[in-house]
Amino acid sequence: MGLPTTPLDRTIKVRSRGHIPLYCPFCNHKDSRVLESRLTAENSSVRRRRQCESCEKRFTTYERLESLQFLVVKSSGNRQPYTREKLRAGVARACAKTMVTAEQIDDIVDAVEAELAQLGKREVPSSMLGELALARLKHLNQVAYVRFASVYRQFRSVEDFIEELNSLKEHEELLSNKS
Ligand SMILES: [Zn+2]
């Protein structure tokens, strides 16, 4: 279901890492509310429907996704380059067999990445990565939240959590191949 379009709809293309203010094309106000966001077909940008908080007109932005570059510091002190795929896989596993859609999973990862981009750090503790994802899951789906929280908090690191889930998955596949 699309949002109603008005003759005042404007599309602007911006290159953003999440921390550049997006000025309203009508009144130049700097705060807008995101009504809807989705990845474009080629997954290279995020299309967002926005509404200006001042004049309330709607416009669309295309934010180019730049791959975030920072190191994830595990509780052991080991550092690994951040990858979106790993974070997404962890969230997706927690959401398995729930009503959470692939788009909602992408939205969570987008939101976490936007927040991380805003922080602009070169190193981020894995615990922070996990807490950011958890905060979103909490609002979205109880089952996914509990799963993510119980597994992740026990392991204290998203990386450990994902590794564990991957090994569980392999185990499941081994079992199902046998039957
Ligand atoms: Zn405006």
Distance 36 CA to ligand 1 centre (A): 17
Above 80 in pLDDT, residue 40?
A: no
Q: Are 46 and 39 in contact (CB under 8 A)?
A: yes
CA 40-134-165 angle, to 5 degrees, is 85
Distance 70 CA to ligand 1 centre (A): 34
Above 80 in pLDDT, residue 103?
A: yes
Q: Note the pLDDT of residue 89.
A: 92
CA pair distance 58, 133, nearest whole angstrom: 28
Cα of 170 vs its chain's centroid, Å: 25
Reference 53, options 13, 23, 90; nearest CA is 23
Binned at pLDDT 50, 70 and 90, residue 96 comes out as very high
Q: Note the pLDDT of residue 163.
A: 66
User: What residues flank ion ligand 1 with Cβ within 5 A?
Assistant: 24, 26-27, 29, 52, 54-55
Distance from the first to the final alpha carbon of the chain: 42
Torsion of CA 130, 132, 133, 135, to 10 degrees: 120
Burial class of residue 13 in the structure, from the number of CB atoms within 10 Å of its CB (0-12 exposed, 13-18 middle, 19+ buried): exposed
User: With a threshold of 0.85, does the pTM exceed it?
Assistant: no
Distance 177 CA to ligand 1 centre (A): 58
Distance 56 CA to ligand 1 centre (A): 6
